[in-house]
Amino acid sequence: MKKAFFGAVVLGMCLSSFCFAAKVEVGKNNEIIVDGKLFFPIVQWGQSEKLFDENISLGVNTFSTSINFVKSPKDYFDFCKSKGVYGVMDFNETVKDHPAVLFWNHSDEPDMLDKNTGQPRIPVAKSIEDYKKIKEKDPGHLVSVGLTAGFNEVLAEGSIGHKDRSFYKEYTKAADLFAFDVYPLYQYNRPECLWYVADSVTKLRNIIEDKKPVLPAIEACAGSKWITPAKTREPFAYEIRCEVYMAVVRGAKGIIWWTHSWIAPENVGNPKANKRWDGKKDKYYTQLGVTAGNKVEMKKINAQLTRLTPVIYSPDVENKVKTNNKDIEVLVKEYAGKTYIFAVNVKRAVIETEFSVAGMKKTAKIEVDDEVRTVASAGEGSFTDKFSEHAVHIYCVENR
């Protein structure tokens, strides 16, 4: 009896502390499932050991990083395990059974234009071959490819300016999920173009025929290497939220935060700071160069995404909700007997919008998630609400 009790206790301790390797798979809605449970990856890229605790306090649940601050891949995943988070790195067979492995990176930005050949810097066939080798050795984890914005003809310029982008379809055979990085402010200094992120989610999903999850990178700071400091600024909190939920409305199944800065804070937007980063590592570089206010917003967003994961991952509901303004994009879900409406203002303008909801009663309760307010029904099947520029509202409609 004592042995049985002791065995049960040990088993319980193992289950609560990652004793078994995580089984990671993709569901029928492209949702990510870890050990049978829905999991929305909130990823931080390239963070040192000393920054883990702060990132975790902001709601980050996965770290994609190099092992430059630890002795070995095992040390890295042991460290992730000790913090109760998952880790991501390039494939390493010695740790394929480690319980803190979420997925593997491979071929980071392989589509980058090789100016000498006019082709991707890593041939797609090589990416496919590498992917197959990884899956043969570790079928229990997903493999990710991180792409540039080159697949989007609107953004395909300069170093990613492929004239023929047809090869992107082949990447479907090279990964189980796809990340990409598009930063309207950080990279292009175009605050009027936050829609680049949403547009890229849609275009990548179309290219891969919506067969794999897509995870966009989201900018949370200034400090770009590519823009003169005088011409840049910090993203506003509402812009960060808008980018995240634009992506979710368009079908993103996780996010990757981008928080690296190469510019001294006092030089952001300083008209006298007219020299770009010179390529040398300097004292201003930081992996978490986010203002205090934007960290607060990251924490709110991360908590909301985590709490609403079962809703976000549930099947889309078509033709149930309509708006009278095309600039309000909506994603509709039904979960636990309630209708959820994710609504995003894609324009930099104040908009008042009427929502028509099929089957909604006049007596329905309409709560706005994370805003501590309700919206009154305007009658059978409709309600109206106001959006500030790039505002996001998530409505939970319950008939009663």
The per-residue pLDDT for 4 is 41
The yes-or-no verdict on residue 13 having pLDDT over 60 is no
**Confidence class for position 281, pLDDT limits 50, 70, 90:** low
Q: Of the candidates 37, 31, 34, 39, which has an alpha carbon nearest to the alpha carbon of residue 23? A: 34
Q: Of the candidates 51, 100, 57, which has an alpha carbon nearest to the alpha carbon of residue 79? A: 100
| Single residue among 280, 312, 344 that ends a domain in this structure | 312
**What are the backbone angles phi and psi of residue 388, rounded to the nearest 5°?**
-75, 175
Contacts of 56 (CB under 8 A, 6+ apart): 83, 84, 85
Q: Of the candidates 85, 121, 125, which has an alpha carbon nearest to the alpha carbon of residue 101? A: 85
Whether 6 is covered by a domain: the verdict is no
- 77 and 34 housed in the same domain: yes
Average pLDDT for 251-263: 96
Q: What's the CATH code of the domain at 385?
A: 2.60.40.1180
Average pLDDT for 218-239: 94
Please tell me the pTM assigned to this model: 0.92
- 285 and 391 housed in the same domain: no
* Pairwise CA distance, residues 59 & 62, whole Å: 9
Report the relative pairing of strands 119-120 and 101-105 from DSSP bridges: unpaired
Average pLDDT for 232-260: 97
- 129 and 208 housed in the same domain: yes
The structure tokens listed for 147 are 């792409």
Q: Which of 19-33, 51-65, 97-111 has the lowest mean pLDDT?
A: 19-33
The structure tokens listed for 137 are 């050795």
Give the rounded percent of residues in the chain with a pLDDT score beyond 90.
Answer: 79
- 249 and 362 housed in the same domain: no
Q: Which amino acid is at 49?
A: E
- 285 and 352 housed in the same domain: no
The structure tokens listed for 8 are 């049960």
The per-residue pLDDT for 163 is 76
- 102 and 225 housed in the same domain: yes
| Single residue among 265, 285, 312 that ends a domain in this structure | 312
* Pairwise CA distance, residues 150 & 158, whole Å: 10
pLDDT digits (tens, 9 = 90+) for 154-193: 886 544 567 788 899 999 999 999 999 999 999 999 999 9
Whether 8 is covered by a domain: the verdict is no
The whole-chain average pLDDT of the chain stands at 91
| Single residue among 312, 342, 367 that ends a domain in this structure | 312
For the chain, the straight-line distance linking the first and the last C-alpha, in angstroms and rounded, comes to 51
Contacts of 10 (CB under 8 A, 6+ apart): none
252 compared with 9, residue with greater pLDDT: 252
- 356 and 291 housed in the same domain: no
Half-sphere exposure of 396 (CA within 13 A, CB side): 15
